[in-house]
Structure 1
Amino acid sequence: MPTRPSLRRCALVALVALGLTGCVAPKHQASSPTSGASASSTSDPALARFYDQVLEWTTCGDEQCADATVPLDWEEPGGETITIALRRAPASSGSPVGSLLVNPGGPGRSAIDTIGFFRQIVSRDVLAAYDLVAFDPRGVQHSSPVTCVDPAELDELAAWVPDWSTDEGIAEAVARNGEFGEACLDRTGPLLGHVDTRSAARDMDVLRAALGDEALTFLGFSYGTELGATYAALFPERVGRFVLDGALDPTLDSGQVAAGQAAGFESALRAYVTDCQAAATCPLDGDVDAGLAQIERLFDRTQANPLPTGTDRELTSSLAFSGVAAALYAQSSWPLLTQALTKAIDAGDGSVLLQLADSYYGRAADGTYASNQNEAFSAILCLDDRPSADPDDMRADAAEVTAVAPTVGQFFSYGGASCAQWPVPAVGSLESYAAEGAAPILVVGTTNDPATPYAWAQSLSELLSSAVLLTYEGEGHTAYGRSNRCVKDAVDTYLLTGEPPADGTTC
């Protein structure tokens, strides 16, 4: 999801909308075997209880569930612990070569709840070879979760339109986000200071060992690519077959991320308008620039006078943009965006854009939220990076962002306000992501990806010393399972044989 200074700073989620049933008793040991490998453990006696733990699997419909134990604070492994939830679809062959860990992005998206998505996009041959293992990183949904505010307060934050035109408006935004952070600390406790990406990557190595795998095999989308790159940097000798699709460059600061995403969404929106105007019906008149101007006027209109939606919630400019952005993640959603814009522009009806915005935030029709992804998103990003909240710095950054994205740039600016008063210290990123000595890592990039621009796939493939770049020429966020046979065959061959495509292959 794109920058939302009132609630979030950037969007790296791979949008999926498949709900699954929860885990149920009775307990039993898993029937499917592990790889049989002698999993690398640890030379640190303080960590042995984590690396040597035996997972107790339970039935979860036609899948299996377990909880792993990891340290709350990796610097104090003898202290408090937290749990990491796993959900496993055993290899259909009955004889797995190992486990394929998966992450859908976010940060904050639940892999447990989207395992059905992975079972649909991962090929049958790969599902026959591997146990498919979804896990929720620390702070996310089924693992020890971050908790901040109730659904009504999330509604207010998603709809809120900050005033960035004055120092007073900026100060109000900083304070309001600070109050949100304090609510997270009050309800979450010490965990809030330990949901950073580095800690989550260290958890993954415990999962690898507990699953019985000598090397980790991983499929990560969007933010999941940063999680995978961090693991590779920390444990290069334990990297197995890694697919990082919809890549994020972890060395970028928040301002660079905002500018890149703004340009990405602007480009995707331009592609949508071009397609819309070529159709039989489209609410956007004139040429592409005129169509973009109409969308910008809709944002301005909803900022001054929110649109009715047929509910007790109005469509603000923040929600209008969220609705537009949600439809840009996949080209298959463009017809729904046309329907939403037609209602909003021609009839002053914001109902369909509100539905798109709600899907974006995981909000159900009854006002509940399907997960804690919005809260986890903010908590993880505010630990990983703390951008400047100086008004002059943010104004300068905003000018650069709107220069490259005149239609949507306003929604990617002033991100420093999100974490300025976050109540726990930032952890920051690693000094190097070279991962020297790692096995080949497959980085996949889409040329007109709105959320993770193609340039990031190029830069990540340069950062990782063993990376191979696979390019999909097309629209939408991520490529594997939603693009073409060329991409799927290349990824499947790599996962099944360890042989990546030639570096620079284009599909």
Structure 2
Amino acid sequence: MKKAFAILAATAAIAALPPAAPAGAGRLTWGECSGKELPAPTECASLDVPVNWAEPGGQKIRLDLARLPATEPARRIGSVLGVPGGPGNSGITDLEYAAKNLKELGRRFDLVFYRPRNNLWFTTMPAICKKPGITLEDPRSRKRFDAQAAAMTKAFRACQKADTTGLFAHLDSMSMARDMEAIRAELGEERLSFLAHSYGGVASIAYARLFPQRIRALYVDGVINQAAGFNDQTLRVSAVFEEKFEEFVTWCANTPACALHGEDAGAVWRALVRTADRKPIPAFSPEFGKGEMTGWMLRQLAFPALPGQNHAAWLAFAESVDKARRGDGSGFGAWVLSIQVWAWPGVLAMSCGDGRGFTDYDELRAYRRAAEKTMPNLGSVRFDGPGCTGWPLNVANPPRPLPPRDLPPLLGVGSTYGDVVTTRTFTQMIPGSVTVTYEGPGHVLWMMGKKCPIRHATAYLTDLKLPAPDTTCPAE
């Protein structure tokens, strides 16, 4: 009864809103999009916001925006703001890539995408911020943990000292949310609808925390629930990959083309991981050059990073395992060596302020025990955790429960690749919300052009109609 009342109350509140402002009623100056490969008739504008929202009169940064005006202006409802992921991606790039997938939604909405502050930072950060502060590892003692934290603190301080923008200290999602609110105000909209994906879910939670009354509708696609904490979310996703790995083992046993056919593929993998932890395997990546892979790195990325998680990918994975146990790690280099990005202080600065990392060695050890107990093949300390342990500033946006006050029911969608698990924990925070399961692999399904999820997103954002709670979309 309470749940039904919450849905009715939220619907009534939305229905009572005044009509949306007409296109162009805000204070932004829209013009030609020079130097950008955006579909016509996209318009561009810019907005200056404070680097530090606690000092509105201080140093400013400029956010670039792009808008595809509603193609049926007489029936225009308002604006949809795209919230990009990453962290560090540009929404304008998202629009360039996938505007064609939003044609139906764009009939009655202005589609507004922007370049967030963390993308501005990522594309302009000083060179020293791209220098790894440590060689990432799973520290097996308090002494090793403390040494890693000290090394990262030193790297963070050097990065911050080289930063002339002031952004280093203000890349948290609470600052992102205030930027989003500034965009809403300049658009002249009483309430906004949002299209958030991946790490954009963290900024969406922050916005919902600060400005719940400004949300008309919120669609989330493949997001994580930062309110529950990164440890919780990573364990959930890792459990899905553990199940997929067991499927791979069974498939390999029944598939003569599998390079590990005739052996216990799971046992071969576990032996490889143990060997690599004792003696790292040489590998090469075109982007990161030569390196070495430990068993910890392999557990983190070798299988979970498989594109598509289909049988073709499993064939390649088995061949790479077979080569790696003979000392040739080339099959995994492109995926596994990318882990060093998570030791760049400039990259970590985009999420340490949101509570990524481990507060102390006891928390890390407890996480490791939980992961290894439930995931014997892939469980370990998560790869994005050790770096933030040396974060020298206050955590501006720590994980904590999100009060559902004043929030309308949300719509989420996620693939069985793992996204649906974390997306559902996000939507379950808000009474009456629904998560649609896409029965296949994929991340950020609207950008992939998946028709069923896009159809549900369009119906929800346009008419505020939610599908049934158990709705699924077949793989396309």
Q: Is the TM-score greater than 0.5? A: yes
Q: 1:406 aligns with which of 367, 376, 379?
A: 376
Q: Distance in 1 between matches of 2:70 and 2:343?
A: 29
Counterpart contact for 1:245–1:445, Cα < 8 Å: yes
Q: Cα distance 1:345–1:104, how it changes in 2: closer, same or farther (>3 A)?
A: farther
**2:316 is aligned with 1:339:** yes
TM-score (norm 1): 0.74
Separation in structure 1 between the aligned mates of residue 447 and residue 93 of structure 2, nearest angstrom: 18
Q: Take 1:427 and 1:482, find their aligned partners in 2: how far apart are those partners?
A: 33
Per-residue CA distance 1:403-438 (angstroms, 9 max, x = gap):
1222222242793x4223312211134765234233
- State the alpha-carbon separation in 1 of the partners of residues 343 and 142 from structure 2: 30
Match of 1:500 in 2: 466
Contact 2:364 2:381 in 1 (8 A): no
User: Match of 2:92, SS?
Assistant: coil
CA distance in 1, matches of 2:397, 2:140: 30
- 1:133-282 to structure 2, matched below 5 A, reads 133-141=112-120, 146-147=125-126, 149=128, 153-154=131-132, 160-162=135-137, 164-188=139-163, 190-275=166-251, 277-282=253-258
- Tell me the secondary structure at the aligned position of residue 444 of structure 1: strand
Unaligned runs of 5+ in 2: 1-20
Corresponding residue for residue 407 of structure 2: 438
Per the alignment, residue 12 of structure 1 pairs with: none
C-alpha displacement of 1:442: 0.8
Q: For 1:377 and 1:274, how far apart are their aligned partners in 2?
A: 38
Listed as ranges, the gaps of 5+ residues in structure 1 are 1-33, 40-51, 364-368
1:293 paired with 2:267, answer: yes
Residue 283 (structure 1) aligned to one of 247, 253, 259: 259
Residue of structure 1 in register with 2:50 after alignment = 71
Q: Structure 1 residues 294 and 112 mapped into 2: Cα distance closer, same or farther (>3 Å)? A: farther
SS in 1 for 2:412: strand
> How far did 1:493 drift?
1.7
Mapped to 2, the partners of 1:397 and 1:246 lie a distance apart of: 23
1:420 aligns with 2:389: yes
Secondary structure in structure 2 of the residue aligned to 1:407 = coil
User: TM-score, normalization: structure 2?
Assistant: 0.79
SS in 2 for 1:463: coil
* SS of the residue 2:368 aligns to: helix
Q: CA deviation at 1:399?
A: 0.8
Shift of 1:236: 2.0
Q: 1:124 aligns with which of 103, 124, 149?
A: 103
- Shift in Å at residue 116 of structure 1? 3.4
| Mapped pair 1:84 → 2:63 | yes
- Structure 1 residues 331, 144: closer, same or farther in 2, change over 3 A? closer
Identical columns (%): 25
| Structure 2 SS opposite 1:314 | strand
Deviations, residues 70-90 of structure 1 (Å, cap 9, x unaligned): 122222212222222323445
Residue 162 of structure 1: CA displacement? 2.3
Q: Contact between 1:71 and 1:79, CA under 8 Å: does it hold in 2?
A: yes
Amino acid at match of 2:424: Q
| Distance (whole Å) between structure 1 residues aligned to residue 293 and residue 187 of structure 2 | 47
Partners of 1:476 and 1:271 in 2: how far apart? 18
Residue by residue over 1:270-299, the C-alpha shift from the partner in whole angstroms, topping out at 9 and shown as x without a partner, is 344445555452223458xx3233333333
* AA at the equivalent of 1:342: E
- Judged with a 3 Å threshold, the aligned counterparts in structure 2 of structure 1 residues 374 and 205 are, in CA distance, closer, same or farther, namely farther
Distance 1:376 1:209, change over 3 A: farther
Distance 1:180 1:422, change over 3 A: same
